[in-house]
Amino acid sequence: MAARTLKEKELKQLLAHITLYRHALRNRVMLLVTHWSGMRVGELAALRYADVLAADGSVLAEIRLSAEQTKGDRARVVYVPEKLRKEIAQYVRAYPKTDLTKPLFYTQKRCGFNSNTLAQHFFHLYRRAGLLGASSHTGRRTFITTLANKGVSVRLLQALAGHRNRRASR
């Protein structure tokens, strides 16, 4: 079964719902990264402070993921829209790190997420918000579908999604 996509109203419902729980800012930013940049959950779990911050402490407009951080062991660039940069900047101000090699997002036990624990976490966030059928892939799928519906070319979608061929973009 393919992950479902969310309408704008459902994303707002999800974001409102997560404010009721601990770690609301962290959860908000993680979800928005998948919805607004199309990043995979494994890539999100692999993010470090150094990946998202420029030398002056500002949030980068492009996140360069190494081959070790991506599916298929192929480096790729993830574009970060201004509205997402503002969200990440707010998170970084709330949770600053001096060691930029540390994970960007932490579990309750103060260790970095791995892709499996983050996928499970997303599943529960969506379920508690009443969004059945949503999964860790929902944000990425919503990102790609939204762009496709706006008429973005298949080749550009392929590049933004980090797919090697168009078949994977379908």
The rounded percent of the chain whose pLDDT value lies above 90 is: 71
> In this structure, which topology does domain 8-169 adopt according to CATH?
hpI Integrase; Chain A (1.10.443)
pLDDT in tens, 62-109: 999 988 998 877 888 999 999 999 999 999 999 999 899 999 999 988
Q: Which residue has the tokens 């979608």?
A: 157
Please count the residues of the chain: 170
Query: Could you give phi then psi for residue 115, rounded to 5 degrees?
Result: -65, -35
Quick one: DSSP state of residue 106? B
Position 94 scores a pLDDT of: 96
- Rounded CA-CA distance 30/120 in Å is 13
pLDDT in tens, 27-43: 999 999 999 999 999 99
Please say if the pLDDT value at position 166 is more than 60. no
CA distance to 5, 63, 153, per residue, from 21 (Å): 23, 29, 39
3-state secondary structure of 109: coil
